[in-house]
């Protein structure tokens, strides 16, 4: 029996999808309102499901089915999405989200591709203990970087901080844990952490424990939705590159995963 509740027709409890509804590659966004707008860039886009914060559409990119799903904010929603997308047949995930600069840091106005995340959140600790690193899939991250450069962006690559409350950090002085939070912010800033957000470490940890290839592209929220549209085009370019690379070529990305294989 599946550990995640399903209806009699195999509809997954939270995301409302069934195996076969989604593509092998799924692009994750925060806002349900972004799903329909982004789906216009896919061929033959169709509505799949809407349940709570999870809105899903599936279309085609160069003949390959690609899905888009909104996942809301935070680690618990991200973990639910990753778990159920795996059950529905997903093999590679690209998350598009927002990031805030650390208090007192110089920040960045550029796109950020995190290759790892500091695990200052609790959801991923339900899967593995803290010494386990939260790492992006290197092939997905590299494809995102090349796609961004082809489209005229120069993304930063580096560490980010995933936390359960960005407001807690940005308003640390008003917190009962003011000393501890200010110290963490200072240490992270000195250690080269680029900023903070709510879900990436959960994405990386849960995906890796489930055998899914996952990467992320973040912005320091400005001019939304224009930035969101640019990020989606970068994601599509990365997916296109992964599709175009023969899975049986020497050094093929994603460990030789055939994205054209039939969904699980």
**Interatomic CA distance for residues 185 and 169, integer angstroms:** 7
Residue 5: inside a domain: no
pTM: 0.91
Residue 139 has pLDDT above 70, yes or no: yes
> How would you class 259 by CB atoms within 10 Å of its CB: exposed for 0-12, middle for 13-18, buried for 19 or more?
buried
Residue 241: inside a domain: yes
Name which residue leads in pLDDT, 258 or 193.
193
Residue 219 has pLDDT above 50, yes or no: yes
Q: Worst-scoring range by mean pLDDT, 64-73, 145-154, 156-165, 169-178? A: 169-178
CATH classification at residue 150: 3.40.50.1580
- Do the Cβ atoms of 156 and 237 come closer than 8 Å? no
Domain total for the chain? 1
Among candidates 219, 188, 217, which has minimal Cα distance to 105? 188
Determine the pLDDT at residue 20: 92
Q: What is the pLDDT of residues 101-120, one digit of tens each?
A: 877 655 556 899 999 999 99
Determine the pLDDT at residue 254: 78
Residue 13: inside a domain: no
Range of the domain at 164: 25-247
């Amino acid at each position: 029996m599946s550990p995640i509740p399903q209806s009699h027709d195999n509809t997954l409890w939270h995301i409302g999808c069934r195996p076969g509804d989604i593509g092998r590659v799924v692009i994750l966004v925060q806002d349900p309102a972004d799903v329909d707008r982004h789906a216009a860039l896919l061929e033959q886009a169709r509505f799949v499901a809407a349940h709570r914060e999870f809105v899903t559409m599936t279309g085609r990119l160069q003949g390959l089915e690609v899905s888009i799903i909104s996942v809301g904010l935070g680690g618990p929603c991200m973990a639910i999405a990753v778990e159920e997308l795996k059950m529905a047949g997903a093999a590679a995930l690209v998350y598009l989200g927002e990031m805030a600069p650390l208090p007192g840091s110089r920040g960045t106005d550029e796109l950020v591709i995190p290759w790892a995340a500091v695990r200052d959140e609790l959801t991923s600790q339900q899967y593995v203990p803290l010494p386990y690193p939260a790492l992006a899939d290197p092939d997905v991250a590299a494809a995102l970087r090349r796609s961004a450069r082809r489209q005229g962006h120069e993304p930063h690559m580096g560490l980010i901080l995933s936390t359960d409350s960005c407001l807690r950090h940005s308003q640390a002085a008003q917190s009962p844990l003011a000393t501890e939070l200010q110290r963490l912010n200072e240490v992270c800033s000195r250690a080269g952490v680029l900023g903070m957000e709510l879900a990436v470490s959960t994405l990386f940890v849960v995906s890796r424990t489930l055998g899914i290839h996952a990467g992320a592209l973040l912005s320091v929220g400005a001019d939304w939705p224009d930035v969101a549209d640019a990020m989606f085009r970068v994601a599509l370019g990365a997916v296109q590159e992964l599709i175009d690379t023969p899975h049986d070529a020497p050094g093929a990305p994603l460990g030789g995963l055939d994205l054209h294989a039939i969904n699980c």
